[in-house]
Structure formats: structure tokens, C-alpha cells
Structure 1
């Protein structure tokens, strides 16, 4: 049995305990392994720092655990890794970490033994342990992603090359007569291959029978067999991973021959939600839930003079978070951008899918629970390295349903996206601009690459973002593992005296017309871009627009505008020639 990336999602843990008990009752010779990232993600962690989680891991009888990157999240706190040390000390199971060197950390070093142990002590860290299942020896070693150094706070704790560590540990296990070997990993099923991932591990290291993985939150509904890359005689390695957040308990049934070769295997993911709650676990959970519920009602230190709506067309409302820019979307993406740029100043844009913004926030005192209800999915911040072309395609997908709703509609910060919803889907984006020193600069649709920030769900291709999915598959996405709701909360606190009452104007809907189409425009309400040759636009008569007008000539030449009324700005900076205005009323600015 296996789980991974549970991230303090304990509300359904009593059902997980039931599921574990059902499997143990039905099968002999069982192991229960956890592939890391118990820490961070909910109020259970914020309040109990892993102690609630380890209580349930002990109750369900976890046999071994590997350190995930989030286990190091407390490293930058005033007490450093004391919280992690306390978690490990409370564990009634060993932790495995063959590529982690904690020798320089005052809290973790005393718990680590760089050995392979056949009689491990609960609460200690080993390179590998040997468990006796029935009459058979099973070796279990652990690997933690090297990305931890950049996406968490390990401090002086170092991460060694995972391939070299795996090869060395497999040899040590084999030297002790072990021919059934499990790698318990937190390196990701298909994460950046230039750093580490399970498929590369299976291809490059002989002697591993099973990889029980985590980190990429991958839902492997059935086990995946990966053949060795350089040894045709080596048996394939079976890889499993059980998604995230206590949603599933993974099972893998394996039969070996006398030489330790897998002769048969079968596995599945058991949905937790379908089970009844274990009464003992339910009672234990209630002791933690009481405090968590109290915290959910605690104010964050922000009082809103006005509500932050989250409109849907079904409300009914003329606007929707899934089709229109909103103040709530502005604040979420601005917080993402601020956090992202604090980690990498080269980030140019941040964007958030409208389908991930779930609830409004009422006027008055804002509580922790309200913030979580806005972003309830436990998403994390991610970087993506994209070309200009990939970014334009991403926003084409985001805008393809407008004015209809789409969960993939993107809110944006750090720039401005201008689009024409009257154009066919796939050709609606007019321009993408980034904000540089207070001025908008065009981001070209081309091969130059940029760093953008979004949530990991979107970065990995969720909501049908195929181009981002390809970016992820290409190893150009880095999941930073930082909680979206916590980041939003922190930004609200930071901006509590500057909460906007109008949208920022980062998503600009315009109508793009040529000289020929201008005659059919009539009295138009909305922003207009008029684009054609200078000859075609030599004279414009009788233009009436309730909005902004931008004129762009694609060739050089002068032009004249007669008898026009414009309620917004008139921007003629892109006209390559002299412009004469006769009886033209511009309520805003004339920008030359």
C-alpha cells in the first residue's frame, strides 16, 4: 500500500484508516509506504507542524517514509528544522533518505545514520532499511529531489546525486542478501529529467524492482513498467504513484520467484471518499478539528470596506470570473507575481485560472476560512519557461470561449493582454505586454523565452492548456510548492490599505477594424483599434466611440480625422505620418 503528497489533508483520514484496515484484512504480507510531502497545505499543518499527521500515520501503521521537499519548509523559521525533528521523533516507523546529508543540521543530524539497517529504530533516518515480510527480506531505500534546495528551505542539508546514491545503496542491499528492492522516492514520476525523476531512475539503475513515488502528484491508475536503458537482461521496474491529498490509497500486489524476479504484478488506486470512517480515527481527528475550526474563524488582520465579488453568469450577472477580469483575480495574481519575483526577478507575468477562484469575500473582517474558500484546491506556485509563441497560444486558449464562461479563462498580473472577442477562436489575442518600469512593453510572438508564474495545475496543462502541458513534459516547469491561499492571504495583509475598487485593466477587450470595416462600426461602445495602411486611413469621418481609440498605420503617410467624438483616449503614436484633427472631441487624452 502507498500514499504520497498528502499535504496535511486530514479531513478524510478516518476513511483512509478504514481503507488500510480493509486491505490488511484481505491480504497477507503487506507494507504501507509513504512517499513524502506530509508537511504544508492546510491549517492542520499550520497549527500542529506535522504532529497531527504523524499521529494518523502511526495509527495506520506506516512501515517506512521518505522525506519530501515540503518536509524542509520550516527550515527558514526561527526554530529551523526542529519541527521536522519533532515529527520524526514521534514516528513509529523509520525514514529512508539515501541521498540526503543532514550532518550539518543541529536538529536532524542526531537522527540520521548513513547505514543500511536490518533492525531500524523508529524515528530515525537511514539510507535504507530491510524489512522481513513473511520469510522474505525486502530492502527499502529513499531518495529526495535535489530541487528541494531551490523550492524549500533545507538550509545546510545537502542533496546528493540520486543516481549515484541509488546505485551505491542497491549494492549494499544486495551485499546483505536482499534481492527484492523498493525505491521509496520523492523525485517525481515525470519531473525535470535533467534534475531527477522516477523514469530516469528506473532506466539507469539496475536492481530496483519497485519505485513508490511522489512529488509530481501523478495519478497512475495502474502500475507502469519501465525497462532498463542499458541492460536488456535486467527486469523492468514497476512504478506507482497515488495522486495527492489523501484522495487515494494505492495498492500493488507483487509476486517474486526465488531469485527475486517479479513474476506477476497488479495494482490500483482505491478511492478514499467511498469508505466509511474508522471510529477510532474519527475520534482522534475531532481532537484536532476543534482547533482547526477555531483558526478558520480567526481574522487575518484585514477589514474590507467593499466585498470582493466572484461573479458567475448563472448568478445572474453580466460578468463572470470565468470570462471577465475581476478585482479578486487581480489581487490573487498580483500576490503570485510578488512572491514569484522575490524568488526569481526575471518572472514577467503571473496568471490564474478563473475556474480555480471559487468564492467571494464579503465586506468586513476577513477570516482565514474565507481566504481558503477562495482558493480551496491546495494549488501551489510554479514557474514555467515559455516562448512568446507558447504564451500567445496559451492566452488564445484562455480566451477562446469569451463571452461564454471557461474555467481556463486567465487572470493576469505584471502586464496587459489585449484581445478581440469578435474574432474566431485561435486568433483573438491582439497583443501581450509586460510592465517594465511603469511602462507597457510589447512581448513579441516569437521564439524568445520568458519566465512566467502560475499555479501548478495550470502549469502542467490543466483546463486543456495543451501548450503548457507540452512545456511541462519538456521539463520547463518548476513546482515551487508554495501554498496559493497562504500567498493570497499574505498579499491581502500587505495591501490591506490599498485594496482596489476597480479592476486594474490587465485584460483589455477591443474591436479591431480595418478602414473598410470602419464604415459599419456606427456608434460603438467599447475600445477600438483601427489598423490599416496609411492610404486606406487617409481620411476618417464621423467616428463616434464610447471608449478608447487606437489608430495604427502599417505604412507611412499622413491622415485626417474629421467630426469625431471619443469618450476615452485617442492614441495615434503608431501612425507613421502627420495627423490632422478637425472638429474632434476627445474626452480623455490625445496621445501622439
Structure 2
């Protein structure tokens, strides 16, 4: 069944958000209700999001107000989907107001409720908890045992016992105390909201809890804590899925040594339901063994790999592994999409991988097809099977360059996708984002990188398979205790990695590499306010890597805040490199005008002057550079300090041309506007940033190993022409 012409009951987002194409999610209590605590928030979201109720006032839900029998009848009738304009037999009650006759008549006609007498419904009487049990048990068609005449609750009489028993068995309520149900107590609006929310699946709604990861980049050491988070959340949400949006490969010594095996052990233990391919899954394609490690990953995974737009048929390593179909009959292997049975409800999941991959990784014989066309085929395939809850598991990037693809564009171009679980851009979407391009919404989520977060999304579908309310957050993995069994599984891998951390890179430096700050360099040098030999070495390595991907790249920039330590003269260990560059920042290549580069350099040297006026105070935004040199005067006002900029052109330096376009390498943090680089952020938003994703410390190690000797120097790439600063340097 197509979702065309269905309407999104979007009261979980503001009116402005509904009118907009894209908006962050907003919970009911964030919207307007000042009396909705965390206890009631999800339930109120469900009711408001599905148009079952509003509130007693614009800013009050009336959580602690008693609800009358007639108002409760209206809520239950709406939850059951009865039409306010429908024709129902008159129940004959004289005390039902006109606004609610449809609801009471519908409920009576369907044997959900009766009156207090043949002519009186008791419209304005408070609904009691005993009456609520009967009302909900009938409405939800719960399995009622007529033989039950009493319960453990001493205040429940024979008339209500079987209904209370049914609600307790279904987990709708427990009772107020161990032996007290509160049968004669008036029900509050908040209480009824909780009851209806807990019984919603019996009214045709489906509550799906999606746990998701992406771009974990071989952070296998976070696996034990992630396992605990998954286990705890799974126990709290019976209708759950656990999926990964790609780039498990590349980024730490776990990958360098075990090529995905350690991460796969963790994922198998956690019970992932599906994963899609990221660009880094193809990093080994140009090696002597090609994609052997990736094929092994697919074979040994206890979950399917999904990608509707990849064709592995020309690579012999994947013979027998790819199934070009959408199916509920799956095991491991590669599928276009799968139909997952989640407690009796069918959920379709398909995968997409960025078409940028062949330009930023080593795909070999693997072929890529257009993501929009394949997504439309996937939706059609699922709908033809009667599957109306559809998830796209993508490695496209949330807002990546439209020269290739991204999730925002996918949501705009393809109707019928309910949820997009994304990766590639390392976006920390702390709140889900909703696209209202079509009548039914598409919810977009992504969970950062490095296994820092476990993403969560709780989506409620109505009986037509449309998301009607939702909420989500990024759960910090580091806040959980490690799972003992997961630690046991990881132990042999960790032992080897710990040994490697103390292992030499195979390279020695002839000079100390300065990554210090004023506090440990006696105030004479800091990676946060002046050129250092380590900053030069890092940016040279970044530029060398970027050139292998885009040979037009001529400049590299590294924020000083990303350089965290120095390296002593002598042997360089892997552990030392990872201490210098601990964040695992990835490579980005920006397409910038000379004027934007000039503006970035102004921002780089915009920190306040030191008290003695001899130079700048420390700033994490200070840029180290390669392929470029510039002069500035720290004595001038911020924004007017850069006096000269030259870029490398062949074997000489020439003046920066404001109108010319340059390709500039940096890390993804800075490229996305981190450290206040708004001009980079604009280029990112414009789609002028490519993210090949090579990890900084690995680029650095690789570069060290191609040098004849390691003896970088301060070369005058960044010069403060402030006379006071020059005098200090001379001294």
C-alpha cells in the first residue's frame, strides 16, 4: 500500500516545523506543556502526536487533573480510530454533550463501554481506575479470563477483577500498591495517557526502538561498554533493532592488525540485525589480497550486510555471497534489503553506500549504482510485499557534497522511507531530524563517530505504517560499565594491540618534535599560537595523502588544538603518535576561494594579545599549514592582521589569488566549521567538501615511513611581523 496522500499527525513538532521541509524533533513537554514531567513525556507525545488529545490549555496538559468519563470516551474512541463524522447508533444517553456523542455511541456500538444506567452515561463523573480497567481491556480486546473473580488487590471487586487481571498481565498497569489497585480512585489525565501509551499496540500502533551506530572506525575497545548499553536498552524495549551504517573498518591498531575481525566479534556478540558498507570497508582493495578481509567479514558476520546500489559480481572473492533481492528468508551474506520480523510486525531495511567511494577508497571491481534510483526500487519492492515500515541504512553522509549523495537529498527525492539511519559525515544528530517533503515524514538519525555514542530512536507507527510520533537521543557509551563477557572476547585482541602501542613505527626523529604549549614550553612556543616543526610535519603528511586522492590539492591546514603532545628525539612509537593525535580525526578536502582561505587565516590569528603585547594568546583554532605561508601583525586589530599570503606553485611561492579556487586538506572537525571556522562550515553546507576519511595518525605514520629522514624545522611558514614579537623571538 502506497503512503501517498497520507497525512502526518505532526503535533510532536511545532507548526513552523511542519511547514518547513526539515526540522529537529520536539517533544510534547518541550513544545508547550509545563506540567509534563519525564514520567509522562512519552505517553503525552504519543497522544498529542496522534491527534488523540491536545491539552486543557495551551501550556497545560492537565497531567494531574481528574478525567471525566465522557472525556475518556473521546480519547479512547480517537485511539481506536473511530471517525468523529461517522454514523453510529444512538446509545440513548441523555447526559452526553453533542461534542462527544459520536465517541460514546461508537464505543457502545462496539461493546467497549456501557452507561451507568440505560439513560445515563455518567458523562461528568470522574472515571475510576476500576472503570478504566474495563474500558481499556474491552477497547484493546485484551484476552480477558471470565473465570477470574478476584486478584491480589483487595480493593477490586468481582465485577472488575477479570479486567484488572488482563491489564496487569499485559503490562498496562501494576497497581498503586502491592495489594491496592486504587479501584475507586479517580484517574488523572496523565494516568490515562500512560495506560493508553502502554496499550497502544492493541490499538493498531507499533512502537519500534532502533539502536544505531556508524563510523566506529575500529574502536573495538569501546565494544564492551557498548555491549552493556545495548543489553540494558534492549531489555527496556521489546520491539528493538540494532543496526550499523558502515565504516567499521580503518582507524585503530585493531584494524591494522586484525582487519575487522575484532570488531566483528563484538558486533556478533551484541547481536546486530544488519549493517551497510561504508567507504572504508573497501580500503584494502588495492592490497595484494584485495577485498579478502571484507569477504571474510561478510562470511563470518552473524547478520546480513545490506546495499541496494552495490554489485560485487565481478569480484571472485564474493561469489556466492551476494543475493540481489529483498527477502525475509535471509542469514548472513549481502542483500539489497531484508524484511525483519519484529515481534510479528514486518520492517523492511535496505542499504546504500556513497557513490563517492571509488574516488576515496579502493573499490576494485565493485560497481556502484545511483542511490536515488535504487532507493525508489527498494521502497517499491517492500510495498509490493505489503511492508509499510521502511528503514534506509545508509553510508551517504547527512549533508555531504551533492556532487555525490546525502541523506537530506535522499529524504527529499524518495517517498516512502520512514527512517534513515546514516553515516559517513560523523554527524552528531543529538535530536532526530524530520523531513516533511512528502505527506508521510522521514526521520533522519546519525550517531557521530568512534563509538562515542549509541544512537537511539523510538518511533511510533500507526496502522498505515506512518511514523506519527518519535523521539531519540545519543547515549554516551563511556557512561556504561564494561560487559564482562565482551571483555573476555576482546582480551586476546587487546593484548596484541597493547603490545603494538609500544612498538616502533620503524622511524626515528633526529630532532625533538614540538607539540607543546606555553605551560610546558616555558612560554616560548605553543602549537596554539606559533609555527612548530611538528605542526609542519603533520600538515606535510596530510597534504601528501590528500594529493594521492585529489592531485589538485595544494594546501593543508591543521588546527593547533588537535595536536596534543610532543615527541622526543629518537625512536617514534605508535603510542606516541596516537598521543599526539588522539581524536582519530579524518581527512577532508575543501574547495575554497582564495578569499575564504584569507578569511580563515584571519580567524586563525584572531586571539587576543598577550598581556606583554609580544604575540597572541593560545587558541585551539590556530592553524599550522603546508603548501602555504603567511605573515600577520599581532599588534593590529583582529580581522585585519594578515599582511601577506603565498601559496606553493611548482617550485616557488606566489601570491594568493582571492578569486581563484584552491583545494585545501584539513580534518573533518575543522572542515565542518569547528573552532569557529564558519567559512569552512559554509563550504561544507554548500557541498564543497569531500571526506575520504583517512585517519590523521595513520596518515602521519605512513608519511614518516616514506621520508629519508625525520628532521623537520620551523621554516617561516607563519611569521608574526609585530616588532615586539620579533624582538622576543630574537632574544
Give the TM-score normalised by the residue count of structure 1. Answer: 0.84
Asked if 1 retains the 8 angstrom alpha-carbon contact of 2:557 and 2:626, the reply is: yes
Shift of 1:176: 0.9
Per-residue CA deviations over 1:334-387 (Å, capped at 9, x if unaligned) read: 111122223323222111111111111112211111111111111112110111
Residue of 232, 254, 257 corresponding to 2:459 = 254
**Residue in 1 that maps onto 2:662:** 450
Asked if 1 retains the 8 angstrom alpha-carbon contact of 2:516 and 2:564, the reply is: no
2:320 match: secondary structure: helix
**Residue in 2 that maps onto 1:517:** none
Asked if 2 retains the 8 angstrom alpha-carbon contact of 1:303 and 1:496, the reply is: no
Shift of 1:109: 4.0
**Residue in 1 that maps onto 2:358:** 149
Following superposition of structure 1 onto structure 2, how do residues 300-339 of structure 1 map, counting pairs within 5 Å?
A: 300-315=505-520, 316-339=522-545
Per-residue CA deviations over 1:27-63 (Å, capped at 9, x if unaligned) read: 1111101111100000000001000001010000000
Which structure shows the bigger proportion of residues in helix conformation?
2
**Residue in 2 that maps onto 1:286:** 491
Shift of 1:98: 0.3
Does residue 71 (structure 1) correspond to residue 284 (structure 2)? The answer is no
Shift of 1:302: 1.4
**Residue in 2 that maps onto 1:178:** 387
Following superposition of structure 1 onto structure 2, how do residues 268-279 of structure 1 map, counting pairs within 5 Å?
A: 268-279=473-484
Shift of 1:496: 4.6
Per-residue CA deviations over 1:103-133 (Å, capped at 9, x if unaligned) read: 11111243111111111122x0010000011
Asked if 1 retains the 8 angstrom alpha-carbon contact of 2:432 and 2:472, the reply is: yes
Shift of 1:306: 2.6
Shift of 1:255: 1.6
**Residue in 1 that maps onto 2:108:** none
Residue of 472, 476, 493 corresponding to 1:267 = 472
* Whole-angstrom CA distance in 2 between matches of 1:48 and 1:158: 26
**Moved runs in structure 1, 4+ residues, more than 4 A?**
none
Residue of 584, 603, 613 corresponding to 1:378 = 584
Shift of 1:296: 1.1
* Whole-angstrom CA distance in 2 between matches of 1:238 and 1:9: 27
**Residue in 2 that maps onto 1:23:** 233
Asked if 1 retains the 8 angstrom alpha-carbon contact of 2:511 and 2:710, the reply is: no
Asked if 2 retains the 8 angstrom alpha-carbon contact of 1:302 and 1:496, the reply is: no
**Residue in 2 that maps onto 1:469:** 681
1:12 match: secondary structure: helix
Does residue 194 (structure 1) correspond to residue 406 (structure 2)? The answer is no
2:691 match: secondary structure: strand
Distance change (3 Å), C-alpha of 1:424 and 1:103: same
Shift of 1:428: 0.7
**Residue in 2 that maps onto 1:509:** 720
**Residue in 2 that maps onto 1:158:** 367
**Residue in 2 that maps onto 1:424:** 637
Asked if 2 retains the 8 angstrom alpha-carbon contact of 1:311 and 1:317, the reply is: no
**Residue in 2 that maps onto 1:578:** none
Shift of 1:498: 4.7
1:348 match: secondary structure: strand
Which structure shows the bigger proportion of residues in strand conformation?
1
**Residue in 2 that maps onto 1:140:** 349
Per-residue CA deviations over 1:191-236 (Å, capped at 9, x if unaligned) read: 11231111111111111111111111111111111012xx4xx301
In the comparison of the two structures, how many residue pairs are matched?
Answer: 513
1:454 match: secondary structure: strand
* Whole-angstrom CA distance in 2 between matches of 1:308 and 1:292: 25
Per-residue CA deviations over 1:456-513 (Å, capped at 9, x if unaligned) read: 111111111111111101100011111211111122222252513x3121112214xx
1:20 match: secondary structure: helix
Per-residue CA deviations over 1:419-473 (Å, capped at 9, x if unaligned) read: 11111000111121012232220012x2321111111111111111111111101
**Residue in 1 that maps onto 2:8:** none
**What RMSD over aligned residues (CA atoms) do the two structures have, in Å?**
1.7
Q: Which runs of 5+ in 1 are unaligned?
A: 512-520, 528-544, 548-566, 568-592
Shift of 1:309: 2.3
Shift of 1:10: 1.9
Does residue 411 (structure 1) correspond to residue 624 (structure 2)? The answer is yes
Q: Which runs of 5+ in 2 are unaligned?
A: 1-210, 608-614
